[in-house]
Amino acid sequence: MKALIAWMARHPVAANLLMGFILIAGAVNMLTMKQEVFPLIELDVLEARVEYQGAAPDEVEEAIVQRIEEQIEGIDGIDQITSVAVQGTGVVRIELSRGVHVASKLDEVKAAIDRITTFPAEAERPEVRQLVTRQRVVELALYGDVSESVLRELAYRVKDELSATPGISLVQVARVREYEVSIEVPNDALRAYGLTLQDLAATVRRSSLDLPSGDIKAAGESILLRAKGRNYDRADFENIVVVSAATGAKVRLAEIARIDDGFRDEDLIMRYQGKPAAFVQVFRVGEEKVLDVVRVVDRYLGSSLRPGLPPGITVDVWRDDSIEFQNRMRLLIKNGLIGLALVLGALALFLDLRLAFWVSAGIAVSFVGAFAVMPWVGLSINMMSLFGFILAIGIVVDDAIVTGENIYAENERGTPEVEAAVRGAQRVTLPVALAVATTVAAFVPLLFAPGTLGKFLFQIPAVVILVLVVSVVEAMFILPHHLAHLHITGFTPRTRVGAWLADLRHATDRALRRVVEGPLTRALRFVTTHYVVSLAAGLAVLLVTFGIISGGYVRFVFFPQVEGRYVTASLELSQGATAETTLAAAQTIERAGYTAARALPDPSGRDLVSAVYLSVGQQAVAGPGAVGALNLVQGNKASVVFELLDPEVRSVTSKEFELHWRKAVGTLPDVKKLTFASNVINLGSPVQVELSARSEEGLAQAVQALKEELSRIDGVFDVRDDREPGKQEVQFKLKPSARMLGLTLDALSQQVRAAFFGAEAVRVQRGRDEVRVYVRLPRRERASLADLSRYRIRTPVGGFVPLHEVAELSLGYGPSTIVRRGGRRVTTVFAEVDSALVTGQQVNVRLTGNVLPRLQAEIAGLAYAMGGEQREQGRTLPSLAKNFVLAVFCMYALLALAFRSYVQPLIVLVSIPFGLVGATLGHLIMGLSFGLTSLFGLVGLAGIIVNGSLVLVDFVNEELARGKPAQQAIIDAAKGRFRPIVLTAVTTFLGIFPLIIERSIQAQFLIPLAVAIGVGVLLGTALQMLITPALAMWVEDLRMRWSGGTRSEPSEGAQL
């Protein structure tokens, strides 16, 4: 490698060709690679969904969910099975173990479910799929005081036009009801003609078909035969003959039934800006770019859609995720450029300006080079990868600084320029390569963080690693050539600015020399003479740091608030509440939101609220966590979403608006559950405990006890659970007299189902829509329990009897939602926390350490599991810790191989905990909580902080090899490497400093990571310059004592 470095430094064009190739390849990929808001990730989760229309949750659980669970529970590679049964639908989620081949497991699960032959005849075919995140870019809201059908048809027209527009591949219409034909026949008409609803459904089915009937082989041609009688709309169905007599008299369907060609009878209501609405979602797929998709949509809106909209209808862009992308991209680019300028300024203070320029140019080459590789490893331009580049600014310059400073030092000693470049680069080949390797090893654990969050954050460490790899190539093979032609010794600047900078650099150099020869030399002599005292002091500092953390002075919040534009209120009424009642409650909450907005005027003078979206039947879930939403329609649930001004424009945070909104709403008597959320990334509630027990009574007791315990903790609010009283249900069973009439329970239940839910007659394809046709009673005859009791059942002999005469009717309650995990029903207790008083981590520790074990002792068979944010934390942190231990061992192995020593790597690695001292102090001073982003910073810091110790120990070995006494060798090495060590620490800090002081609302969740690295490397380096020499002296003293020598004896060719 040293020969290659010398050849590249001396060759006139090789280094520039290599740099040109890196820049061209990176620039081409940068312009063409895909852009997305968040990285597209595939989840290791499969979902099986079965519709069983009209069935109660208990029936869905028994007939659908349990049968699927039993069929798939023996499949290898399944980590957890979670099932949900609601009215009309059963959903089974299968979480796979990490590393399992998802496609093969998907096929295996499909095959297992297809083998089930005992599903009810009325159930739809199971839909089995893998959950994936789709990249929605824009969502359009079409709204106005017009009919639902007008909005729906307009939404589909927009979908068709956008899908046909070049640059857009995937468009979907969202949150609209499906078409349905309802044939409603009164009970009296059925009795008059001796019919049942099933009879009519069969008649409609037989009268509505297109049937191929073969062909005729005529002379010279083949003529197809086809029976054509498919009915499509109300007029077609009205003409169906249901009864005919020998006399020729006919009774058509229109004479006995009301035919409603409308929408499916489900509780789905959408409002935008207070008016009925339909929504069109535009997605990014393949290599499409976020900003290109947005430009195409904007051009379509301006030139095609808005000019031709029908009167009374308006179109707005409801969600534009590219705004978040552009804002964060501008934020990161701005901070990156400022950080780069600060790094260049710091380098100019310590080194020749021309040398500082080439060292800084290495940052640009490394960044552009990373773009050259990113598409080949599945990376894209998104908010996470941009964040990785910001993180790399302060790190990537380290190897170039070490190389450039060593070349500079060689030049200062009078070595000719080319020879100084070769010698300087070759001398630091080992420490630079080791420094990059250990930093990469420190970031590798972050690549393997488990779960959805791990996949979501994967691109941050991946980008840092790529930048580091390219940077070491630049520092070893390109930078020496550029510095080989710089005449530094005796160089006189030709310009006044150059002369001023040279004078400033000389003044800085003199000041640095005074520090090195004065305070630093005295400190080094003290720590190497009194190394036991020094190491004890270092240990005391670590213990104080651990005390600050364990004492709660710096709190732990797993995932920080990510500022966004949307604040959501999700409400739930009692089971059985109509959609209209839920809408009224949601509108009350909407008015309270406007009241809260008026109480928080923005200094800009603009309205804080941009738009309001209200949905009944489905609750809104935003961000990466939205992929886990079940999207089940339930009329007692609703959401109200306020879109606020852009975070870069307003001064009011979304959290502040959320708190004022919560206060303005107060207590609503009809609303059973009400939660607010303003975070972009949804990991669930900070406190979320899933309970299961052997008996319903035991489970109810545990839930109530846990809620009471949570209510007594200061800072905990919105304590709730997902148990529901359930809907009223009428259960019926046959009387003995019914059997005498020839009735069976199956025949009875089928007639009741047809009357009150509907008997499916046929499905017809009308254009893009598959329309179901049902035959049922009119709504007025199925609106009360009295209607049920009076409904007449036809007996096999042709007579009609009231339902209450052949069946015993009993009124009770059934659950509205059944959640199962691991084959057992579970109830989840949720709670929110005020982070100013208590963190979710503190509450969960209290629950798992005391409350839940006590409840387990009191209630037989009670089991619990942590969910939501705590579950993600439980998956992520242990995995990070385990992987970090392996990474540290890899760092140790690399150092041991390079130094040929078992002890020297330990001296280097001891500096890692001292980075935590600086990170903790930074969090404490700035009032920040430790969180996942802080941990990312600490892991990266571990790889950075060892670089100084690594270079120092390497030079100690060189001084010892020259025959110096150990103490003098350590002092001289520390003094000699003080400038590059300090310079790398200062440039790392300055590179990330703009992010530390950034006041932008959107940058707040990035600041803990910046503080962990920036402040950690500054204070950690200061401690490192004292602790590493003290530890090295102690190890050398022990070695000399064991070998029978004394400390003052020189050791020829010795190593620590």
Cβ neighbour number for residue 284 with a 10 Å cutoff: 27
Q: Are residues 671 and 540 in the same domain?
A: no
Lowest mean pLDDT among 248-257, 588-597, 725-734: 725-734
The pLDDT score that the predictor gives to residue 1052 is 40
Q: Are residues 372 and 448 in the same domain?
A: yes
**Sheet-wide strand order for 863-866:** 716-721, 827-833, 687-692, 863-866
| Closest by CA position to 1048, among listed 954, 963, 958 | 963
Contact 771, 764 (CB under 8 A): yes
Domain boundary among 825, 843, 866: 866
DSSP string for 678-703: --SS----SEEEEEE-SSHHHHHHHH
SS3 222: strand
Q: What is the pLDDT of residues 564-575, one digit of tens each?
A: 788 999 998 887
Confidence of residue 1056 (pLDDT cuts 50, 70, 90): low
Q: Are residues 10 and 46 in the same domain?
A: no
In the predicted model, is pLDDT for residue 176 greater than 70? Answer: yes
Lowest mean pLDDT among 138-142, 245-249, 700-704, 920-924: 245-249
The pLDDT score that the predictor gives to residue 1053 is 41
Question: For the residues 580-584, what does the mean pLDDT come to?
Answer: 92
Beta carbons within 8 Å of 544's beta carbon, 6+ residues apart: none
The pLDDT score that the predictor gives to residue 834 is 82
Secondary structure string (H, E, C) spanning 286-327: CCCCHHHHHHHHHHHHHHHHHHHCCCCEEEEEEEEHHHHHHH
Lowest mean pLDDT among 114-118, 573-577, 647-651: 647-651
In the predicted model, is pLDDT for residue 589 greater than 90? Answer: yes
The domain that holds 719 is classified in CATH as 3.30.70.1440
In the predicted model, is pLDDT for residue 897 greater than 90? Answer: no
| Average pLDDT of the residues of the chain | 85
Lowest mean pLDDT among 60-69, 414-423, 950-959: 414-423
The domain that holds 64 is classified in CATH as 3.30.70.1430
Confidence of residue 301 (pLDDT cuts 50, 70, 90): very high
Q: Are residues 387 and 468 in the same domain?
A: yes
Confidence of residue 626 (pLDDT cuts 50, 70, 90): very low
pTM summary value? 0.77
Beta carbons within 8 Å of 212's beta carbon, 6+ residues apart: 224, 225, 226, 227
Question: For the residues 456-464, what does the mean pLDDT come to?
Answer: 86
524 found inside a domain: yes
Lowest mean pLDDT among 251-255, 380-384, 532-536: 380-384
Backbone torsion region of residue 266, taken as left when φ is above 0, otherwise alpha when ψ lies between -120 and 50, otherwise beta: beta
The vertex-955 CA angle with 949 and 957, nearest 5°, equals: 105
The pLDDT score that the predictor gives to residue 587 is 94
166 found inside a domain: no
The pLDDT score that the predictor gives to residue 561 is 66
Contact 240, 207 (CB under 8 A): yes
Q: Which residues on neighbouring strands pair with residue 63, listed in sequence order?
A: none
The pLDDT score that the predictor gives to residue 540 is 93
What phi and psi values does residue 766 have, to the nearest 5 degrees? -110, 95
The domain that holds 1013 is classified in CATH as 1.20.1640.10
Sign of CA dihedral 326, 609, 578, 276: negative
- Which residue type is seen at 1008? P
Lowest mean pLDDT among 738-742, 746-750, 872-876: 872-876
The pLDDT score that the predictor gives to residue 731 is 82
Per cent of the chain over pLDDT 70 is 95
Q: Are residues 1037 and 967 in the same domain?
A: yes
The pLDDT score that the predictor gives to residue 996 is 85
Confidence of residue 682 (pLDDT cuts 50, 70, 90): low
As a whole number of Å, the CA-based R_g of the chain is: 36
**Domain enclosing residue 1031, as ranges:** 506-562+869-1056
257 found inside a domain: no
Q: What is the pLDDT of residues 963-998, one digit of tens each?
A: 888 889 889 888 888 888 888 888 888 888 888 888
Give the single-character DSSP code of 754: H
Confidence of residue 488 (pLDDT cuts 50, 70, 90): low
Question: For the residues 755-774, what does the mean pLDDT come to?
Answer: 89
The pLDDT score that the predictor gives to residue 646 is 79
In the predicted model, is pLDDT for residue 628 greater than 70? Answer: no
642 found inside a domain: yes
Contact 944, 391 (CB under 8 A): no
Q: Are residues 423 and 547 in the same domain?
A: no
Q: Are residues 372 and 464 in the same domain?
A: yes
Q: Which residues on neighbouring strands pair with residue 727, listed in sequence order?
A: 814
The pLDDT score that the predictor gives to residue 625 is 41
113 found inside a domain: yes
At 109, list the tokens.
Answer: 């699960």
> d(Cα 481, Cα 818) in Å, to the nearest integer?
70
Cβ neighbourhood burial of 257 (10 Å; 0-12, 13-18, 19+): buried
| Closest by CA position to 131, among listed 82, 74, 188 | 82
> d(Cα 250, Cα 245) in Å, to the nearest integer?
7
- Which residue type is seen at 267? D
Confidence of residue 489 (pLDDT cuts 50, 70, 90): low
Confidence of residue 668 (pLDDT cuts 50, 70, 90): confident
Question: For the residues 878-903, what does the mean pLDDT come to?
Answer: 85
622 found inside a domain: yes
- Which residue type is seen at 1010? A
The pLDDT score that the predictor gives to residue 38 is 76
Give the single-character DSSP code of 851: I
> d(Cα 105, Cα 76) in Å, to the nearest integer?
9
Q: Are residues 674 and 691 in the same domain?
A: no
The pLDDT score that the predictor gives to residue 1044 is 60
Give the single-character DSSP code of 393: H
Confidence of residue 1001 (pLDDT cuts 50, 70, 90): low
In the predicted model, is pLDDT for residue 7 greater than 60? Answer: yes
Q: Are residues 434 and 514 in the same domain?
A: no
The pLDDT score that the predictor gives to residue 1048 is 43
In the predicted model, is pLDDT for residue 1051 greater than 50? Answer: no
Report how many domains make up the chain.
5
The pLDDT score that the predictor gives to residue 244 is 83
Give the single-character DSSP code of 374: G
Q: Are residues 675 and 691 in the same domain?
A: no
Lowest mean pLDDT among 462-466, 666-670, 708-712, 853-857: 666-670
960 found inside a domain: yes
Q: Are residues 461 and 547 in the same domain?
A: no
> d(Cα 467, Cα 469) in Å, to the nearest integer?
6
710 found inside a domain: yes
Q: What is the pLDDT of residues 374-398, one digit of tens each?
A: 988 888 888 788 878 877 876 777 7
> d(Cα 599, Cα 596) in Å, to the nearest integer?
5
Per cent of the chain over pLDDT 90 is 21
Lowest mean pLDDT among 186-195, 360-369, 412-421: 412-421
Domain boundary among 441, 456, 491: 491
> d(Cα 944, Cα 1021) in Å, to the nearest integer?
10
What phi and psi values does residue 892 have, to the nearest 5 degrees? -60, -45
Lowest mean pLDDT among 23-27, 419-423, 515-519, 813-817: 813-817
The pLDDT score that the predictor gives to residue 1045 is 53
> d(Cα 855, Cα 254) in Å, to the nearest integer?
64
In the predicted model, is pLDDT for residue 648 greater than 50? Answer: yes
Q: Are residues 654 and 707 in the same domain?
A: no
In the predicted model, is pLDDT for residue 198 greater than 60? Answer: yes
Contact 86, 60 (CB under 8 A): yes
Q: What is the pLDDT of residues 438-451, one digit of tens each?
A: 888 888 888 887 76
Backbone torsion region of residue 312, taken as left when φ is above 0, otherwise alpha when ψ lies between -120 and 50, otherwise beta: left
> d(Cα 644, Cα 596) in Å, to the nearest integer?
12
